[in-house]
Amino acid sequence: MEIITARTKISELIKANSKSVDAIASLAKPLEKLKNPILRKIMASRVTIGEAAKMGGTTVEEFKRVLLPLGFTFELEVSTKENVSSEQKPTWLQQTNQADIDFYDVRPIIDNGADPLKEILGRFKTTQPRKILCIINNFVPTPLIHLLKQEKAEASFVEAISDKEFNTYFLKKEKEVGDSPKTSDEKLQMHDEQSFEVIDDQFSKERTKQIDVRDLEMPGPMEMILSELQNLPAGNALYINHKRVPVYLLEELADKNYQVHIHNKEKGDVRMLIFKK
């Protein structure tokens, strides 16, 4: 029998019993992403049971209910009623006045069928060091948390306001002495049309591989992009026509040696240029 806790990685559950994928996916719609092999590869090794419960708007108690029949057992000292709101606010958040927090409600953007990632990254970029950006959403944005921690977020905290409202706070890192404005050294950059063309012009047609993934069903776009990057010659760039900003792809590339440049031209038309640093 496998002994697990709220800190157990989802990948460990899957390795012990592959049926845990369907069991977890049955708990909440956001967790159905685990059925996708590509997204599962990205999420499972990064997310714990406790984090997955937050992401799905459910509880560790519900995880226990569906995992016990598969032969898992929870350590007795772990509270199966753990949830987001039971965690104590960190000191950096307690000492900050509400008026000094930038609250950004992305639910209207999502309700309109759009991806708010571009706006979130832009908002976080303008957040001053040691200041806080709070993203208001109807679920826990676990991929965004991992992504922003790669991008100058010193810490994060999730507060459950209700079953359908979560506030995710991001503390911007303090600017280090000697830091200067960055351009092409940034691993992820959002562009307007003109600045994107400047980056694109650095590569000739012979050194650019262009693909269009807009008509592919998930996980087709990510599979094609990762495959092309794996075979991309040094000094070349991959130019991608996409219909959305692919947050899971960005998370997968965040700890790799790639520069990612994005121009969100209009709804359904996103241009990306990826190359090795």
pLDDT tens-digit series, residues 85-94 = 456 889 999 9
Among candidate residues 27, 50, 81, the one where a domain is terminated: 81
CATH number of the domain at 39, please: 1.10.3910.10
Model confidence, pTM: 0.64
β-partners of residue 203 are none
> Residues near 15 by Cβ (< 8 Å), separated by ≥ 6?
none
65 and 140 share one domain: no
Q: Which domain holds residue 38?
A: 2-81
Residue 86's pLDDT is: 53
91 and 146 share one domain: yes
* Overall average pLDDT of the 55-61 stretch: 86
Amino acid at 130: R
CA separation for the pair 55, 29 (Å, rounded): 10
> What is the total residue count of the chain?
277
> Residues near 213 by Cβ (< 8 Å), separated by ≥ 6?
220, 221, 224, 225, 240, 241, 242, 243
Residue 76's pLDDT is: 55
44 and 113 share one domain: no
In the chain, helix, strand, coil percent, each to 5?
A: 40, 25, 35
49 and 123 share one domain: no
* Overall average pLDDT of the 232-239 stretch: 95
CATH number of the domain at 164, please: 3.30.110
In total, how many domains does the chain have? Answer: 3
The segment with the largest mean pLDDT, out of 3-7, 158-162, 178-182, 194-198, is 194-198
Amino acid at 229: L
pLDDT category, 181, cuts 50, 70, 90?
very low
In a domain, 20, yes or no: yes
Is 254 within 8 Å of 146 (Cβ atoms)?
Answer: yes
* Overall average pLDDT of the 178-189 stretch: 56
Distance from chain centroid for Cα 274: 18
In a domain, 183, yes or no: no
In a domain, 215, yes or no: yes
